């Protein structure tokens, strides 16, 4: 069709025969939708997925919470029994710090949509599953001895038990640091390792002041650490 066949409106306005496509036309909308979906996909990929039920992060949060809970129990026992202000300060610090860390770890599990307890034995995530007490954990007999001891004896027994307890927690913190890429887990595990190393040295110094021999660190994921009375603290 030539120019002679153009409509009067077209002749008057000078409109082109092929006007630009409008945004509400289907091909344009499809391209726009594809761009939006692509951007959303990139954002979702950038958001880390929560750890799974059998992940190192979940195992660490569960096992360290249990480990910390006993440290809090022992600290509260000696805090109420000791006659030493130095020991009371140490016990209070251990109790408050580890209670706060338990809260963080239980909070992670809740946010990740995971139960507070797992289906596998403790330390499975480390490759060292144990059905009994985890390394460093005091036995019921040792806890009873701590409750029944005189103030001075309780101080010494607490230091011995807590050194073993802390030494056994270090491999757990170091293991999750090797496995995780989650910043919140890295921060807490690093803080636990640093603070407990410092407290181990301080508690060994307190034992030396009391003239009590300090045993070498024998705690390991597959070892049985021992307390003041020779009872096993647990292990695989």
CATH architecture of structural domain 56-209: Up-down Bundle (1.20)
Task: State the Cα angle at 121 between 117 and 124, rounded to 5°.
Answer: 105
Residue 5 pLDDT > 70? no
The mean predicted confidence, pLDDT, of the chain is 83
- Residue 103 has a CB neighbour count (10 Å cut-off) of 12
The predicted model gives 60-74 an average pLDDT of 98
180-212: per-residue pLDDT in tens?
Answer: 999 999 999 999 999 999 999 999 999 999 999
**Sign of the CA dihedral running 170, 173, 178, 179:** positive
Residue 137: partners with Cβ closer than 8 Å, 6 or more residues away:
67, 70, 165, 168, 233, 234
Number of H helices, E strands in the chain: 7, 0
Distance CA 178, CA 125 (A): 12
Could you tell me the pLDDT band of residue 171, with boundaries at 50, 70 and 90? very high
Please compute Rg for the chain using Cα positions.
31
**Sign of the CA dihedral running 45, 46, 52, 54:** positive
Select the more confidently predicted residue: 6 or 158. Answer: 158
- Asked whether the beta carbons of 78 and 158 are under 8 A apart, the reply is yes
């Amino acid at each position: 069709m030539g120019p002679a066949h153009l409509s009067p409106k077209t002749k008057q306005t000078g409109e082109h025969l092929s006007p630009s496509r409008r945004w509400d036309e289907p091909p344009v909308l499809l391209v726009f939708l594809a761009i939006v979906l692509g951007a959303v996909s990139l954002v979702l990929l950038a958001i880390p997925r929560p750890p799974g039920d059998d992940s190192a992060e979940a195992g660490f949060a569960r096992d360290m919470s249990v480990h910390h809970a006993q440290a809090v129990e022992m600290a509260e026992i000696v805090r109420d029994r000791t006659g030493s202000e130095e020991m009371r300060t140490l016990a209070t610090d251990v109790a408050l710090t580890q209670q706060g860390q338990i809260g963080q770890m239980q909070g992670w599990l809740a946010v990740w949509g995971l139960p507070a307890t797992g289906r596998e034995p403790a330390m499975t995530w480390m490759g060292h599953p144990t059905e009994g007490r985890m390394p460093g954990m005091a036995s019921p007999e040792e806890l009873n001895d701590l409750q029944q001891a005189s103030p001075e004896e309780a101080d010494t027994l607490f230091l011995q038990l807590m050194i073993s307890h802390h030494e056994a927690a270090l491999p757990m913190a170091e293991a999750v640091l090797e496995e995780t890429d989650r910043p919140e887990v890295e921060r807490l595990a690093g803080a636990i390792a640093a603070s407990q190393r410092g407290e181990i040295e301080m508690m060994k110094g307190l034992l030396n002041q009391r003239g009590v021999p300090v045993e070498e660190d024998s705690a390991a994921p597959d070892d049985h650490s021992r307390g003041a009375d020779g009872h096993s603290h647990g292990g695989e």
